[in-house]
Every structure is written in C-alpha cells, then in structure tokens.
Amino acid sequence: MADNGKAGDQPVLTTPLNALHRELGGRMVPFAGYDMPVQFPAGIMAEHNHTRTAAGLFDVSHMGQVRITGPDPVAAIERLVPGDIAALAPGRMRYTMFTNDQGGILDDLMVTRREDDLFVVVNAACKAQDLAHLRAGLPDHRVEELADRALLALQGPQAAAVMARLAPDAVKLGFMSGATVAVAGLPCFVTRSGYTGEDGFEISVAAADADGLARRLLAEPEVKPIGLGARDSLRLEAGLCLYGHDIDTTTSPIEAALAWTMSKRRREQGGFPGAAVIQGQLAQGASRKRVGIQPEGRAPAREGTPILDQDGRRIGTVTSGGFGPTVNAPVAMGYVETGHHTVGTPVVLEVRGKTLPARVAAMPFAPHRYAK
C-alpha cells in the first residue's frame, strides 16, 4: 500500500486519476514510482474476464509520453532502435526497443510517426533513463516529455462500440495507427493499440481533462475500471513481454523472440547499438530463446522458477507466470537453452521444492483479436 505517500526515500507520484481510483475502491500499491490501483472491488479475475468479453478502462498515465521534433527525427531515432521507423507512413506506429552496445534491451517502446514529429511511449520505470538516452543520442533534436498529458487505455471486444459513440473518427483507425480526434468532445491523440491482445485504443489526453474523460467512458454500459493485476494476466496470456522481467539489458531481441520487429533493411544495414551482436545471432542463432511454458495441473509457476530438462539439468528460468483466466490454466514464459525451445518439448518446473511436469507451448495462450 502507498498510503504514506513514500516508497523508500522517494515521494510516490500520482496520476491525474488517483482520486477517481480511490473513489471507485481501487486497492492502491506503489508501482514504478506511482500510486496505482492493482485491482478494484470486483477482483482481478472478474476484471480480466470483463476485458476479454466487454471493455476495460486502464490508467496508464504513469507511462512516459514523449514528442521528438527537429531535423529528420526518423533517421535520428533509427540510430537508437532496430525498428524500421522510416517505413512508417504518417499516422502509423511500430513496436521497437532501445538497445545497448551488447545487443541488450534498455527498454521497449511504441513509436508513432506523425506529420511533424514522432510520438513515443516508454515504460514508467525506465522513463527518466529513456529521456536521458534520447537526449544524449539526439543532441540536435528537441525531446519533450509530455508531462501534462494522461494516457488511458480502453481495451476489449466492445471498445470499438464505445468509441463509435464517443469518437467515431477513432473507429476508422486501423491497428497500429493513430490520429488526433475528439473523444467526448475533448481533443485527444488516439492510437489503435494496447497491451492485452484485444482490440482497443490508447487515448492521450490533457491531464486536466483526464478525470472527466475517464468518468464519461465509465458511464458507458460496456466499460469497467481495470487495475494492474488484470493488465498483467491479460498481457501474459497474450504472450507480451514485461520490461524488467521478460526482457532487460541482458536479453537481446533475438533471444527474446522479437526478431519480427526488425525489417530486412534494418537487419542487413544495422546502424543501431549492438547491431553486430544481433546480426551475429540472426546468422548463427542465439544460445537461448524466450518460449511459452504450459504447466500441467493447476499450480502456477512464478517468476524465477527453474526450468529443468527430463534428466533434471537446469536449462532455463521462468520470467513471468501465473494463472490464465481465459485459458483456465496456469501459463508462463521464460528462457530455455536453444534445442529445448521447440513447441511441445517436455520440461520440468521446480516449484517450492517439488518437480512439476510442463511443456514448451506456443504463444499467445489466448488468441490475439486486434482490429483487422
């Protein structure tokens, strides 16, 4: 709980929706330096299932929103990321990552190319270092944190129906695209994207308007508030990485099964930190791979659980794990030695001193249902 307003020696920050979370009965916890709701009275399971069947509203205002302007910002940011930003038409967005000289991942991020700038969203826990990294790497550009804006995510199969009433122009957006539109009469930058595997929208709105917009969205019959607990179980079922757990400075995009984020041009030309290491892994293979893990039975395998082969030799570690309400079974992901990464490979999990059978599984565990 973050009732004392402090996490260690650092004051806990709040989002513009903090008072609303408390009014709605949110159980508040410190997360990435912010006072955030882990769940609401309905509970994580109900929130997860509601997002899968209707529409959930998430406060993701703790994330960093950044605007980059200056001479050819596309070419500039490609010096820092392996993603093909130049291939984006204005209004299109891409998932990519900052890499270091060893090919490790400093953070993962979303980049939207707009007519006159780049709109970047980075993780809350990495926000300060990402801003410093951008400013150091783009000295001729203005890197502006949009600290006066909130970010809301409306996710689920009925999200489009809600937006059709409040922001008809937003529903015209294709998956992984964005535009400036009015939502309930408020000027917003909306992308059709999210972190749940469902269709949905992320809405950047002025902080002063965030409370009113959230209340307007929650007034729609399909929409309920969703906390961090369900956000985590939803993204795990969707096979999506959580920075600091499934990816970090010790994992490369190739080890993390994120080679799909790199175009042929970027793979061949390089020009980003760690390119030589990553190109070497593309050519020769990596020594380990991120995979899905499906435990047998009902016991979940949490982060840090050792993964063993059939002879009891440790071959990897679980990086995320829990119970998947949609699949009604425990699900996990982690890294295993190459050679043990094929879907269907039997493995053994060491959970609290007991060995439990499991197998390497295809991800996502729950099918993606993004807008076509």
- Residue 142 pLDDT: 98
Predicted pLDDT of residue 272: 98
Residues of the chain with CATH 3.30.1360.120: 6-59+147-237
Model confidence at 3, pLDDT cuts 50, 70, 90, reads very low
What pTM, to 2 d.p., does this model score? 0.96
Mean pLDDT along residues 199-212:
98
* Peptide bond preceding 364 in cis form (omega within 30 of 0): yes
* Cα–Cα distance, 100 to 72 (Å, whole number): 22
Q: What own/partner pairs with CB < 8 Å and gap ≥ 24 does 308-317 have?
A: 308/347, 308/348, 308/349, 308/350, 308/355, 309/340, 309/347, 309/348, 310/346, 310/347, 310/348, 312/348, 312/355, 315/340, 315/347, 316/288, 316/340, 316/347
Question: How far apart are alpha carbons 24 and 255 in whole angstroms?
Answer: 41
- Per-residue confidence (pLDDT) for residue 6, from 0 to 100: 38
The answer to whether the beta carbons of residues 75 and 86 sit under 8 Å apart is yes
CATH class of 287-361: mainly beta
Average confidence (pLDDT) over 263-285: 98
Residue 329 token pair: 């079974």
Res. 43: pLDDT tops 60:
yes
pLDDT digits (tens, 9 = 90+) for 118-142: 999 999 999 999 999 999 999 999 9
Positive/negative CA dihedral, 231, 237, 243, 244: positive
Fold of 6-59+147-237: Gyrase A; domain 2 (3.30.1360)
- Structure confidence at residue 1 (pLDDT): 22
Q: How many of the other CB atoms lie within 10 Å of CB of 367?
A: 9
Contacts of 294 (CB under 8 A, 6+ apart): 329, 330, 331, 332, 358, 359, 360, 361, 365
pLDDT of amino acid 9: 62
Mean pLDDT (whole number) for 6-34: 90
Please report the pLDDT score of residue 181 as a whole number.
98
pLDDT digits (tens, 9 = 90+) for 153-180: 999 999 999 999 999 999 999 999 999 9
Total residues belonging to the chain? 372
Q: What are the residues facing 116 on neighbouring strands?
A: none
pLDDT tens digits, residue range 211-258?
999 999 999 999 999 999 999 999 999 999 999 999 999 999 999 999
For position 2, what pLDDT does the model report? 29
- Where in the chain are all domains bearing CATH 2.40.30.110? 287-361
